């Protein structure tokens, strides 16, 4: 005997006679019963609509227009200067501070800024170059720090204008030569 397991190829129910031959392809075996036919479908229910259906809504059309991105033009020097002046203070404050600083005082004949420049120049001439620059740059530094931290007011802008003009009293044209070469007059 062989050691292979038995694999049945067809199973005949008990009590059924053995067939003379095997079923042909597509043929049902005689011991199988044909399946019951499916039940007939139910009759369709016809109902008349009570009201006519509303018309479909109008279709919505969405149009997307894509505009190519263009870089904004580079600002001109005038626009950059105006933007810078607007960051310092309002234009009327800047103009007012310059007018107060540079308009001559009645009865004296000199403006506040020119009097300060004269004082700084006299300090430079009497006590030296370092003292003149220290006296001119101290109020300038205070004005710049206050304006950059808290914004420009008329008083701060006046201090800035007066100290800038006063710095011209401390400057001598030979200072850069002295700083670079170390040679004095």
The DSSP annotation for 130-143 comes to HHHHHHHHHHHHHH
Least trusted range by pLDDT, from 20-24, 93-97, 99-103: 20-24
Task: Report the SS3 class of residue 17.
Answer: coil
Which has more pLDDT, 119 or 37? 119
Residue 31 has pLDDT above 70, yes or no: no
Is the CA virtual torsion 112, 113, 116, 117 positive or negative? negative
- Give the Cα separation of 58 and 53 in Å (integer): 15
Per-residue confidence (pLDDT) for residue 142, from 0 to 100: 93
To the nearest 5 percent, what fractions of the chain are helix, strand and coil? 45, 0, 55
Q: Domain spans of the chain?
A: 90-181
Q: What integer pLDDT is reported at residue 10 of this predicted model?
A: 64
| pLDDT tens profile 113-164 | 999 999 999 999 899 888 999 999 999 999 989 988 888 888 999 999 999 9
Tell me the average pLDDT across 162-182: 86
Q: Supply the pLDDT for residue 81.
A: 84
Residue 184 CA: distances (Å) to CA of 29, 129, 172, 173, 179: 130, 11, 12, 12, 9
Q: Assess contact for 152 and 94: CB atoms under 8 A.
A: yes
pTM: 0.52
Please give the structure tokens belonging to residue 179: 């700083």
């Amino acid at each position: 005997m062989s050691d292979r397991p038995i694999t049945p190829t067809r199973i005949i129910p008990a009590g059924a006679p053995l067939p003379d031959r095997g079923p042909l392809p597509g043929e049902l075996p005689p011991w199988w019963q044909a399946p019951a036919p499916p039940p007939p479908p139910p009759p369709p229910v016809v109902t008349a609509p009570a009201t006519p259906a509303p018309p479909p809504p109008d279709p919505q059309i969405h149009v997307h227009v894509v505009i190519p991105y263009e870089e904004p033009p580079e600002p001109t020097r005038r626009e950059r200067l105006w933007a810078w002046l607007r960051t310092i203070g309002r234009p009327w404050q800047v103009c007012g501070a310059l007018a107060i600083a540079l308009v001559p005082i009645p009865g004296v004949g000199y403006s506040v800024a020119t009097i300060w420049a004269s004082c700084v120049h006299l300090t430079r001439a009497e006590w030296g170059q370092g003292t003149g620059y220290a006296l001119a740059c101290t109020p300038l530094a205070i004005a710049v720090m206050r304006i950059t931290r808290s914004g420009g007011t008329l008083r701060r802008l006046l201090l800035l204008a007066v100290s800038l003009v006063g710095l011209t009293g401390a400057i001598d044209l030979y200072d850069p030569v002295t700083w670079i070469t170390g040679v004095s007059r």
